[in-house]
Amino acid sequence: MRPSSTLLLAFAALAVAQDQVPLLDRIKGFLNQATAAISSAVPAAPSSPVKAASAKVVEQIQHELTLENWKEVLTVDPTASAPTTQDWLVYINGGNTTCFGLCANTTAAWNASLPLLAAQPNAPKFAVVDCDKEQILCNSWSVGPPSVYYFQIPKSLADQSAPAATVRFLPLNRTSTTTETFKKLFVNGEYEKVAPYEGYWHPFDGPIQQYGLAIPLAYVFWGFSKLPSWLPMILISLVSRNFMGRRTQPQPARPAPAQ
């Protein structure tokens, strides 16, 4: 494919990306934002002791991941003997920017499920990523809310070698996710039906991560997400006109072959 055609397709992809979220979801997001604004103006009733205690448990058993700390947090217990693995459940959350205000239901279900999941034998460790706050991290993983990453991270052997981390990506339904959803996935073991992800965007062992391209590409995607939706269409129009203009220009006559 010619470079100009590749550039044209790239701009087209960017324009389409602006419309990936269904219109109904956007409308729901706007309504949720308006409701939140109204609710913030009304004095909130004191929370119940049960809810307060539950929130405290959630805060204590899950780690908040950032671009700076995630590699240090998502590790194996240094006191464990190899070979062994450490399981991590990472809830990928978002707010008005990355989830259009539609993650409240899944977040409530996740928080309510954490005490149950933590009480299981050989329970995993828990973490959360807020993609509104950590857009670069989410872009470097190529993930969006609401979803869960299930990491099974092996401990390095004595020679510092280790098998690749097993990664399963589990998208969540914004409206139908409940505590029963998490119970089926992680207590009943239904997550095992999801094939491990082994593509380019593997957070630990993918080529993009290994060659140091994840963060630069994340900033590129973040920059494109800040562009107004009309700008890619103008750029596409300019590139296509330039391309077609070159195609329609008369070509210089070729000299006749010598007799």
Residue 168: pLDDT band with limits 50, 70, 90: very high
**Count of CB atoms situated within 10 Å of the CB of 63:** 16
Residue 26: pLDDT over 80: no
Give the per-residue pLDDT at 132.
Answer: 96
Residue 241 has pLDDT above 80, yes or no: no
Mean pLDDT rounded to a whole number for the chain: 79
pLDDT, tens digit (0-9, with 9 covering 90-100), for 203-237:
999 999 999 999 999 999 898 877 766 666 776 77
Domains of the chain: 52-225 (3.40.30.10)
Top-confidence residue, 22 or 112: 112
Return the pLDDT at 86.
Answer: 94
Q: pTM score, two decimals?
A: 0.71
Sequence-ordered list of residues with C-beta below 8 angstroms from that of 242, at least 6 positions apart, any chain: 4
Q: Span 82-97, mean pLDDT?
A: 93
